Structure 1
Amino acid sequence: MAQKEKKRYLSRLKNKYRFSIYNDQTFEEVWFLRLSRLNVMAVFGGFSFLLVSLVIVLIAFTPLREFIPGYPDTHTRRQIVQNALKVDSLERKLDYWQQYLTTLQAIVNGENPPALEAKLDTTIRTKQIVFTKSVEDSVLRTQIENNEQYNLSVNTSPTDNTVKGFHFFPPVRGEVTSSFNLTHSHFGTDIASAPNEVVVAVLEGTVTMATWTLETGYVIQIQHNGNLLSVYKHNSKLLKKAGSHVKAGEAIAIVGNSGELTTGPHLHFELWFNGTPVDAEKYIVF
């Protein structure tokens, strides 16, 4: 019985029907269409599928989707992207400050900064080290020897308790890119020089600080006679340690580009007299 009912239902779907349009006055058949239930279902099914597909395409690939409640508009999406970038910048800034505080705590405790300890390879044994001279090392040695030929051994103490009483040795030869300016809180002189240029002490004195900071990179500071202090920042390498006694013209560092506040390879040189910054260009020819 079920199969007979099924066949009967299918045959009904396939039965043809005639849809005619007549002239109301002459009863003449103007237009007709032969249809079956199956044809009607197929036509309406195909039309519904095309309609749904068209709506989906319009919503997915046109700005019409912004009119849907709950969907973010262009301004909201742009704001989301900007907030994500700001959060990423804040995370990086916090990470830098955390590294700075960790490094500062290590220095205060008399320990090596974590960044420096990570670079140390403790697995190398001293017996396995082979000392060889490279071309760069030979050039550096020659340059230092030539510079130290003119070391000042005279007494550099002032005679009139002013900066003019000193006889300075240029810390590095180059071009001044930024001069001393108290108004803009620039307490030193920026000198651009050749790469890997040797930085020398301007006067005889004692190294009171040789360290690394996040903003100024490798920094070395020398205390001289007569309440005079010289500071050398943004070096790529320090050649002296705290407590070392240096002569005027003696090599103390290598010009570099270290620290966040640098804009290129140069030396930031500061000169302090009686606790006050002074313009080094008035007393030193770079």
Structure 2
Amino acid sequence: MSLTFVLIANTSIKEYIPGYPNVDERRELYKLNIIADSLLIDIEKKNIYIENIKNIFADDPFNEDVSEVKPSIFRYDTIKNIKSYNDSILRAEFENQSMYNLYFNESGQLAESSKASIKSFNFFIPLQGIITSRFSLLDKHYGVDLVTSHNEAVKATLEGTVIFSGWTLETGYIISLQHSRNFISVYKHNSVLLKKEGDHVMAGEPIAISGQSGELTTGPHLHFELWENGTPVDPQEYILFN
């Protein structure tokens, strides 16, 4: 009996047992499992991204990075079953598919998660003015304040897409842009917004008119923030303000 079981379990004879999936069926099942895993990763990334946006407008930084999402379904090192020769060939075939390698690199992170050098970005000064308040995580001041005369053009610091254009009680008219490499720029206390959500803008393109809208202002100025992967960063480390 034991010999018969071993013979069936480790040879292609098991494929003739009613109900046991053949090679083509296992191939399709494996493919569907990979697709399902990648969809779960995409959903988790989108959920983190949405939470990032919510925290940005609430001035609440956090450290979750969408690039840190890792696969949760496939743990090949925990598989204990004895694989037949055909099963091993099938597994190797799919693990080498570019569809799979598109999502993960050798370290287990998303292949697209590597950051480009900051030198490849040409940040545009959003507004010519004098910095009166600098970036400070300790004081929860997540940007810089640029004092300028009223009704000056506020310009996009990088090429991007408008993801928010609206009003809040504390900071008045706000416009925010999504840029490549998970950068987001935020412009607050404007008097007029020139772009709407979904608009694509170029670096240096006017997106608003400066002002002093909102309760948290004592005069005409621009509060400018720069976020990277959901975390506020000091704009002066990226932009040479005059």
Q: TM-score, normalised by structure 2?
A: 0.51
Equivalent residue number for residue 251 of structure 1: 206
Distance 1:199 1:163 in 2: 23
Match of 1:280, as an amino acid?
A: P
Could you tell me whether the CA contact under 8 Å between 2:156 and 2:205 is conserved in 1?
Answer: yes
Residue 207 of structure 1 corresponds to 162
Amino acid at match of 2:188: K
1:231 and 2:186 aligned: yes
Instruction: Return the match for 2:231 from 276, 279, 285.
Output: 276
CA distance in 1 between partners of 2:136 and 2:175 (Å): 21
Q: Secondary structure at the match of 2:181?
A: coil
Structure 2 unaligned blocks of 5 or more: 1-113
> Hey, what's the Cα distance between the residues in 2 that align with 1:258 and 1:199?
14
**1:283 Cα deviation from its structure 2 partner:** 1.4
> Does the 8 Å contact 1:196/1:256 carry over to 2?
yes
Unpaired runs of at least 5, structure 1: 1-158
1:217 equivalenced with 2:172 (yes/no): yes
Give the CA deviation at 1:165. 3.6
Contact kept in structure 1, 2:162 and 2:176, CA below 8 Å:
yes
Instruction: Indicate the RMSD between aligned Cα atoms, in angstroms.
Output: 1.3
Answering whether residue 161 of structure 2 is matched by residue 198 of structure 1, we say no
Task: Please list, as runs of the form range in 1=range in 2, the aligned pairs for 1:16-27 lying within 5 A after superposition.
Answer: none
For 1:185 and 1:262, the matched residues in 2 are separated by 16
Runs of 4+ in 1 over 4 A off after TM superposition: none
Q: Is the Cα–Cα contact under 8 Å of residues 115 and 181 in structure 2 kept in the other structure?
A: no
Distance in 2 of aligned mates of 1:213 and 1:280: 22
User: Conserved in 2, the CA contact under 8 Å of 1:163 and 1:273?
Assistant: no
Tell me the equivalent position of 2:217: 262
CA 1:164 to 1:179, structure 2 compared with 1: closer, same or farther past 3 Å? farther
Q: Percent identity?
A: 61
Q: Are residue 179 (structure 1) and residue 147 (structure 2) matched?
A: no
Q: CA–CA distance in 1 between the matches of 2:131 and 2:205?
A: 21
- Partner Cα distance (1:164, 1:191) in 2: 24
The answer to whether the Cα contact below 8 Å between 1:168 and 1:203 also exists between their aligned partners in 2 is yes
Deviation, 1:163, is 4.1
Higher relative contact order (CA 8 A, sep 6+): 2
Deviation at 1:164, TM superposition (A): 4.5
By how many angstroms is 1:195 displaced?
Answer: 1.8
Partner of 2:196: 241
